[in-house]
Structure 1
Amino acid sequence: MKVLKFGGTSVANPQNILQCISVINNIPGKKIVIVSALGGITDALINALIKAQNKDMSYKIELEEIKKRHLQTANDLLKQENQKEIFTYIDQSFLHISNILEGCFLLGEISNKSKDVLLSYGELLASKIIYEKLKHVCKKVSYIDSRRLLTSDSNYGNASVNFEITDYSIQYYFDKNQAEITILPGFIAEDSNGDTTTLGRGGSDYTAAIIAAALDAERLEIWTDVSGMFTANPKVVKQAKPITNISYKEAMELSHFGAKVLYAPTIQPVLNKNIPILIKNTFEPEAQGTLISSENFPNLNPVKGISHIDNIALITLEGTGLIGIYGASKRLFGAIAKEKINIVFITQASSEHSICIGITENEAQKAKQAINEEFAYEIKLFKIKPALVETGLSIIAIVGENMKSHQGLSGKMFSALGKNNVNIRAIAQGASERNISAVINNKDVKKALNTLHEKFFEDQVKQVNLFIGGVGNVGSKFIEQIQQQRKYLKDNLKLNVRVIALSNSQKMHFNEDGISLENWKEVLENGEKACINKFISIAEQLNLRNSIFIDNTANENIAAVYDRFLKQNISVVTCNKIACSSNYENYKNLKLLSKKYNAPFLFETNVGAGLPIIDTLKNLVASGDKVHKIQAVLSGSLNFIFNNFDSDYSFHDVVKQAGIEGYTEPDPKIDLSGIDVMRKILILIRESGYEMEIDQIQNESFLPKEVLNAKSISEFFSNLKKHESHFNDLYQQAVTQNCRLKYVAEFETGKAKVGLQLINKEHPFYNLEGKDNIVLFYTDRYSDQPLLIKGAGAGAAVTASGIFADVIRIGNN
């Protein structure tokens, strides 16, 4: 004999009910079928009840809609000649429901006893409709009202079953029942006075388990809308996988911590009889589902699943009056028990200075009042503080029968959460080590579940979520490189890089599931109006793990909001030099925020594009070396310009060409005025451990004042032409002295300067070709021969590759 239970979604409408009947018919042997109310009906009845209590006449409209749904379901399932009996039953049922609600409306309240009667009709109506359909399409079908079989106490709303009487009633009835299929409603029972009671949340599962245990059934099957228990909630963690086999105890832990596919008390009756539970999908009956049994299946992964409970309140009782005092915990738990409040989480410091409990949020104030009344004397003497209530919390838990035999699981769990700035308010772990639980903020649940699932179930593939600002020359190349290397990153570096947001100066677009890079330009073109504040707000609301903001702009307003990203645990990777060359306090603050919120702030491309200049400098300093002197050609654009400027090409034309090839900033005056090089040397000075502001750097400009003071880009180029003779003179001076023109940045003994220099043939800078950069670091260890870094220092592709390298650094962290 098999016991089958079908949940609310499985019987939500006529189509689903027909699917349930198909499932029932395809299962051989004798079957007992327990059904829930039509999907959403219990909530609709509660809503009508609330309206009636509030003297809102619209409860009648709500009730009429509920009745109409049942009549329509019966009408769609049954032929007209078979409808009379069920229509009469529906009419009578809703007459009774209407009377209960009318009384509630007049009184403005309802007893728990009457509420149980009201809610029982959800299951009664659904089971009757399904029975009427089954008896016309199957042979040997019977119906029994569960209240005739299940006897409970009178704790209305969450009644406890009297198993001695109940087991006898079930066994007596089914010993005489010869039907192949028996239909009965779940969730409801009857007390010794003959009054209707309900079995609490998940009561239909519980009904099925009670009957299966009483009859020593071959198997209990729970048919629902998902293919078994999952490694995490698939609605929150899209990579969640079905669990094929799981132990009773593991299933109970996951159910207790919010795995809604199974009601935790369901397991106890069948566990005692060692009856397996099979969870199956009504709409994918061929799927394997999850088998829950006593067998401990071998599994390389000691963690079976991750679950959570939302809307938790944490109540803390602390004070010296708890230390070494016998019975303090008993008094605390007794005060809570008197109010019939369920405690879902307990932790206590070894100092006994505080006790912390977790309960559902809607019971927090009642619990606080009960605790404060219990300890009123100690509170008055200031030996104990009044109970502290914190709300807006959730509990997350990892569960596994074999966790106790594996070292370091808690370390992996908390390390993964910490790296994503998920703040943990409290921790609990039982001696069985079957469960490790932590209390976190509600807003961090999605991030935490995905982080832990990635850590324990996804073959160590790490998801990296990118928010890209700026899709011009550099940004476009960066996106192109991501698209090209995606598979390589996943296969070889175990990084799943997704672009979540794109923005330019006019438009922005978000997709939590990742933007397709095949047509990203079209997607962005059709996006919403760009707004940096909204961009940050959406990134904050998404709260995705391993998030990185990429700034491919030279925009001062964008650089000014890095702190807001870092405070949200969103890493920042930028080729924009403005932030790191702004006032020293801002630079220092960004560094501190990066450490505080565990959000890397990387800007390798600020100096030398894709060259590993800043990273090398950081390693020197970290290893204890000290930088005394820096000499560098740091502008790939200026090096390109002066390498190509000769008697055959005007200075104006060469600067224009540099812009066309993407070597200069959008405003080339930033490059030619020396501002860009000043920013770069300033960043190197600061990264070397020195404090300096940009106005302390001497700028020996080679531009005539009229060029420097140009108010627009067009005026700038016009003035370059006007002063062509000035630039020709510079070139001739270099030729005469057998030198080459290089724009050099220098730092030594606390002083820095930038300017155009004549470089002779013996100098390392002389043969610097094209757009290359070069840096010489003179340090304690590199005193005679400097550490030299040389290579391409400008261009969209190399800058994009430098940004890409920073993203990979963060991903591998």
Structure 2
Amino acid sequence: MRTVIKIGGSLLRSAQHFLDAAKFISTFDKPVVVVSAVKGVTDMLIELYKTRHESIYEAIREIHVEIAKRLGVSGIDPLLRELYKALDMPEGPDVLDYFMSFGERLSATIMHGLLRRIGLESKLFVAPIITDDNFGSAKPLEDKSLAEEIGENEGVSVVTGFIGRTRDGRFTTVGRGGSDYTATFLAKLLGYRRVILVTDAPGVLTANPQEVPEAKILPMMSVEEAVEAARLGAKNFHPRTFEPVTNGMYVEVRNYWSRGTVIGNFYAPPPYKVVLRCGEGSCVVGLDAEEIVKLGGEYVSRFAAHVPMPPKWAHDLFVKPYFEKLVWIN
């Protein structure tokens, strides 16, 4: 089965992290690999755009040169020269997106070079998704003109996450955290059923473990529940991640070692799945959220309700009772 794999920026912080990712990628047959920027680099690029300070450019350059050197790969020098020239660019509606594009372009170039160095056939695709010109939060278009080449590639296809391009070739971004969205949208364009979002978390947790230490990994959840959790601020997802997930597609949220959480067009227990801090209280996301409204909770949506209690209390009351009734992943 052809698979789209997204490697998050939190997993791309050093040469060793790139090696770990490459090892994981090598276990799949001709995957499409969507690559995020090295952790922290997008924020640095935004600051570089605002200030045009060469010291920030040098810091970005050093991060990538060090990783590439340790991995024994080349190909980033032209991008770094291009970024340096961008310091003299005038303001414009598309300039910030252009600056931010370098994070994914640099990391994808390194990943592409590394895969080839370890003996895998690899091809690099830069911003293959066509979008509108709403810079900063561009909307991908149902245009397969660039994506079709990915489907025809016989090796690993390394794709830049987060960024797209207008029909006239200008770089766009789909919003922070948008590599997830890139992965699911690309899978839809290509007709692939499986998407793996690889993060530093083992899956979707029932609550923030900093607030609820006994939070568990959900084995499964529906697209509707995941969309609602994303809308309410679950850090696992870009809010638009699941818009492209149609019947037959499913998404795995996991790290390299866990089974993670499977998200698709199905409904699975428990009836209450995720507790999120919402203002002074909590939002409970799940299939039976409307039952909480009947008990006095505040209606948020078909799959979410607000309760005036801290997340730990809400988790103990609505989610924890189902722990023993399910086979939980540790």
TM-score by length of 1: 0.38
> What is the correspondence of 1:22-41 to structure 2 with a 5 Å cutoff?
22-27=23-28, 29-41=29-41
1:17 Cα offset (Å): 1.2
Q: Secondary structure at the match of 1:151?
A: coil
1:49 Cα offset (Å): 2.7
**Which of residues 274, 279, 293 in structure 1 aligns to 2:264?**
293
Alpha-carbon distance change, 456 to 4 in structure 1, aligned in 2, over 3 angstroms: same
> What is the correspondence of 1:62-101 to structure 2 with a 5 Å cutoff?
62-78=56-72, 83=73, 85-86=74-75, 89-90=76-77, 92-101=78-87
1:203 Cα offset (Å): 1.5
Q: Deviations over 1:149-205 (max 9, x none)?
A: 211111111111111x2x3432x31343222x1111111111122111111122111
Aligned pair 1:454/2:316, yes or no?
yes
Alpha-carbon distance change, 100 to 395 in structure 1, aligned in 2, over 3 angstroms: farther
Residue 139 (structure 2) aligns with: 160
Aligned 8 A contact 2:293 2:299 in 1: no
Q: Deviations over 1:186-227 (max 9, x none)?
A: 111111221111111221111111111112213100000001
Aligned pair 1:251/2:226, yes or no?
yes
Residue 111 (structure 1) aligns with: 92
The letter for the 1-side match of 2:252 is L
1:21 Cα offset (Å): 1.1
Aligned pair 1:139/2:120, yes or no?
yes
The letter for the 2-side match of 1:259 is A
Q: Secondary structure at the match of 2:23?
A: helix
Residue 173 (structure 2) aligns with: 198
1:294 Cα offset (Å): 1.4
Q: Secondary structure at the match of 2:117?
A: coil
**Which of residues 290, 300, 304 in structure 2 aligns to 1:429?**
300
1:69 Cα offset (Å): 0.6
Aligned pair 1:303/2:272, yes or no?
yes
Alpha-carbon distance change, 32 to 460 in structure 1, aligned in 2, over 3 angstroms: closer
Q: Secondary structure at the match of 2:252?
A: strand
Alpha-carbon distance change, 255 to 413 in structure 1, aligned in 2, over 3 angstroms: farther
1:268 Cα offset (Å): 1.3
Aligned residues: 322
1:413 Cα offset (Å): 7.4
Aligned 8 A contact 2:124 2:159 in 1: yes
Aligned 8 A contact 1:37 1:122 in 2: yes
Q: Deviations over 1:76-115 (max 9, x none)?
A: 111xxxx4x42xx33x3233323333446xxxxx333011
Residue 695 (structure 1) aligns with: none
Alpha-carbon distance change, 394 to 145 in structure 1, aligned in 2, over 3 angstroms: farther
**Which of residues 177, 183, 191 in structure 2 aligns to 1:208?**
183
Q: Secondary structure at the match of 1:26?
A: coil
Q: Secondary structure at the match of 1:47?
A: helix
> What is the correspondence of 1:502-513 to structure 2 with a 5 Å cutoff?
none
Q: Secondary structure at the match of 1:67?
A: helix
Which of structures 1 and 2 has the bigger CA Rg? Answer: 1
1:403 Cα offset (Å): 3.3
Distance 1:134 1:394 in 2: 48
Aligned pair 1:260/2:263, yes or no?
no
Distance 2:176 2:69 in 1: 30
Q: Secondary structure at the match of 1:98?
A: helix
Aligned 8 A contact 1:308 1:397 in 2: yes
Q: Is there any run of 5+ residues in structure 1 with no aligned partner, and where?
A: 53-58, 105-109, 310-392, 415-426, 441-446, 462-813
Q: CA RMSD in A?
A: 2.3
Aligned 8 A contact 2:281 2:310 in 1: no
The letter for the 2-side match of 1:51 is T
> What is the correspondence of 1:490-505 to structure 2 with a 5 Å cutoff?
none
Residue 192 (structure 2) aligns with: 217
Distance 1:69 1:413 in 2: 52
Alpha-carbon distance change, 412 to 72 in structure 1, aligned in 2, over 3 angstroms: farther
> What is the correspondence of 1:719-730 to structure 2 with a 5 Å cutoff?
none
> What is the correspondence of 1:602-621 to structure 2 with a 5 Å cutoff?
none
> What is the correspondence of 1:652-801 to structure 2 with a 5 Å cutoff?
none
The letter for the 2-side match of 1:155 is N
Alpha-carbon distance change, 184 to 429 in structure 1, aligned in 2, over 3 angstroms: closer
Distance 2:64 2:191 in 1: 34
Distance 1:111 1:397 in 2: 40
Q: Is there any run of 5+ residues in structure 2 with no aligned partner, and where?
A: 324-330
Residue 783 (structure 1) aligns with: none
Distance 1:142 1:100 in 2: 26
Residue 48 (structure 2) aligns with: 48
Residue 233 (structure 1) aligns with: 208
Aligned 8 A contact 2:277 2:310 in 1: no
Q: Deviations over 1:481-540 (max 9, x none)?
A: xxxxxxxxxxxxxxxxxxxxxxxxxxxxxxxxxxxxxxxxxxxxxxxxxxxxxxxxxxxx
> What is the correspondence of 1:512-523 to structure 2 with a 5 Å cutoff?
none
Distance 2:251 2:186 in 1: 13
Aligned 8 A contact 2:162 2:179 in 1: yes
Q: Secondary structure at the match of 2:119?
A: coil
Alpha-carbon distance change, 47 to 401 in structure 1, aligned in 2, over 3 angstroms: same
TM-score by length of 2: 0.90
1:411 Cα offset (Å): 6.7
Alpha-carbon distance change, 256 to 161 in structure 1, aligned in 2, over 3 angstroms: same
1:428 Cα offset (Å): 3.8
Alpha-carbon distance change, 50 to 448 in structure 1, aligned in 2, over 3 angstroms: farther
Distance 1:394 1:62 in 2: 38
Aligned 8 A contact 2:7 2:33 in 1: yes
Q: Deviations over 1:688-733 (max 9, x none)?
A: xxxxxxxxxxxxxxxxxxxxxxxxxxxxxxxxxxxxxxxxxxxxxx
Alpha-carbon distance change, 437 to 25 in structure 1, aligned in 2, over 3 angstroms: same
Q: Deviations over 1:99-139 (max 9, x none)?
A: 333446xxxxx333011110000000000001111101133
The letter for the 1-side match of 2:38 is L
Residue 401 (structure 1) aligns with: 287
Q: Secondary structure at the match of 1:436?
A: strand
Q: Secondary structure at the match of 1:95?
A: helix
Distance 1:175 1:39 in 2: 28
Residue 123 (structure 1) aligns with: 104
Aligned 8 A contact 1:454 1:460 in 2: no
More helix by share: 1
Distance 1:413 1:224 in 2: 36
1:302 Cα offset (Å): 1.8
The letter for the 2-side match of 1:291 is V
Q: Secondary structure at the match of 1:265?
A: coil
Q: Deviations over 1:343-390 (max 9, x none)?
A: xxxxxxxxxxxxxxxxxxxxxxxxxxxxxxxxxxxxxxxxxxxxxxxx
Residue 146 (structure 2) aligns with: 169
